[in-house]
Amino acid sequence: MTRTLHKSGQMYAEAQRYLAGGVSSDARRMPGVPLYVDHAEGSRLWDVDGNVYIDYVLGQGPALLGHCPREVAEAVAAQAVRGMAYSAQHAAEVRVAERLCAMVPSAERVRFNTVGSEAVHAALRLARGYTGRSRVLKFEGHYHGWLDPVLYSVHPALDAAGPAQAPRPVPGTAGQQPGHADDLIVCPWNDLAALRRTMEAHAGQLAAVIAEPILCNTGAIAPEPGYLEEVQRLCREHGTLLVFDEIITGFRLAPGGAQEFLGITPDLSVFGKAMAGGMQVSALVGRAEVMDHISTGQVAHAGTFNSHPVGIAAAEATLRILDRRREAVYGTLFSTGAELMEGLRAAAAKAGVPLLVDGPGPVFQTYFTDASAVRNYRDFAATDRAMMSRLHAALLDRGVNMVPRGLWFMSTEHSSADIDATVDAFSSALKVM
């Protein structure tokens, strides 16, 4: 199959005259012409040239219920005619906060933001204000937003990253202030000995340890058995707050996020993406004792669009569905995810292609590798990422859209027919590769 991209090409040429790089987010860059979507519904995208795609990007994860779920769209439309922005409180934000506190194990208090980067920034400021300490430990390969203090060692070049057991903070972009690295310590993921050693070396200095509880920005890498339990124990021993970045995993794996799925309750958590079905809402939640440092005014937190009425309307509708229909929603996500994962494995085996397919199901990763497991960023970096990029292009030509680095998001709207068509496209793509 060869896609027609005449209109898309024209739009991209025009966009490059006005948009820096021709796109509004670096995550949308790709070789050739970017995807120009006309509309989306359920499990499908239609581009401006009329090409149709089975979509496993889902807006980078938010469309857990598929694109344009009717109840969410109706809630957004109803609120839009009542008011777009109030700069005042409203009843829906209280209802959504109450539901979050009922659904999420770590949530005793809530503050809303618009995007994940803001929520992470608020969490780390709060951790510093609460503990009186300045330093934060993050894990290599974990992404916590694009702001300067945390955009380090996400996918660093290995020749700059330092030893595997003691990585160096590597900035993610030109223009970052060098001094931010002074307060940031980087550890390898799934290495308890390195973590113990690092936390001992910085005893009394660490305000927070922040982690994606399942690493989804570098593969889909679960914590090894007992790992997060020991991370939590070490944080308590050192008087350090444990912060879960659940921007991706939140509401995707369970109604209470990865913390419910894994059985680990952090001190603070941040949520976004799937919590509002595609609208821009994020949340910082956590223990009342910690969160009340905001309410007393000790730690500043503000924003014109915090608890934006239209976004909150989407969140209320989405969370109501996830809460009330949890068995149907999560049963579907896990079963269809497992079905697609197995289909991709079988297709690769038939083609004689070394492929690892790993992850919980509602989100998972494909890796071109002979390895039996990927445990951390260094393992991920050793996989054939150039081949994964070629797979992405070949699948797009065959009407399947996945995250270019090999990540797949499932929705409740993906059907068995979608999965069969995806496996057929995958098999065809492998043949030409």
Q: Which residue spans of the chain are classified as CATH 3.40.640.10?
A: 70-324
Lowest mean pLDDT among 106-120, 270-284, 289-303, 358-372: 289-303
pLDDT digits (tens, 9 = 90+) for 35-89: 999 999 999 999 999 999 999 999 999 999 999 999 999 999 999 999 999 999 9
Nearest-angstrom CA–CA distance, 119 and 339: 34
Give this prediction's pTM: 0.96
For the question of residue 7 being annotated catalytic, the response is no
d(C-alpha 270, C-alpha 107), whole Å:
10
Taking 70 as the threshold, does the pLDDT of residue 299 lie above it? yes
Mean pLDDT of 199-222: 97
Q: Bin 73: left if φ > 0, else alpha if -120 < ψ < 50, else beta.
A: alpha
- Rg for the chain (alpha carbons), in Å? 21
Separation of alpha carbons 300 and 121, rounded Å: 11
Tokens of 102: 């009922």
pLDDT band, residue 30 (cuts 50/70/90)? confident
pLDDT of residue 205: 97
Kindly name the residue from 53, 55, 191, 273 that is annotated as catalytic. 273
Q: Which CATH code, of 3.90.1150.10, 3.40.50.150, 3.40.50.300, 3.90.1640.10, is assigned to 6-68+326-432?
A: 3.90.1150.10
Domain(s) of CATH 3.90.1150.10: residues in the chain: 6-68+326-432
The predicted pLDDT at position 112 comes to: 97
State phi, psi for 182 to the nearest 5 degrees. Answer: -65, -30
Q: Which of 53, 56, 143, 227 is catalytic?
A: 143
DSSP 67: B
Confidence of residue 31 (pLDDT cuts 50, 70, 90): confident
**Which of 27, 99, 42, 20 is closest to 278 using CA atoms?**
42
Mean pLDDT of 269-285: 96
- 227 assigned to active site: no
Write down the CATH number for the domain with range 70-324.
Answer: 3.40.640.10
Average pLDDT of the segment spanning 153-166: 95
**Is 188 or 181 the better-scoring residue by pLDDT?**
188
**Torsion region of 173: left, alpha or beta (phi above 0 gives left; psi -120 to 50 gives alpha):** beta
The catalytic position among 191, 245, 267, 418 is 245
- Residue 186 buriedness (CB in 10 A; 0-12 / 13-18 / 19+): buried
Q: pLDDT tens across 313-334, in order?
A: 999 999 999 999 999 999 999 9
- Output the six-digit token pair for 213: 């509880």
Distance in angstroms between the alpha carbons of the first and the last residue of the chain: 14
Residue 384 tokens read as 């054939």
Query: What's the pLDDT at 3?
Result: 86
Is 370 labeled as catalytic in the residue annotation? no
Q: Is 39 exposed, middle or buried (0-12, 13-18, 19+ CB in 10 A)?
A: exposed
- CA angle 404-406-407, nearest 5°? 100
In this model, does residue 1 exceed pLDDT 60?
Answer: no
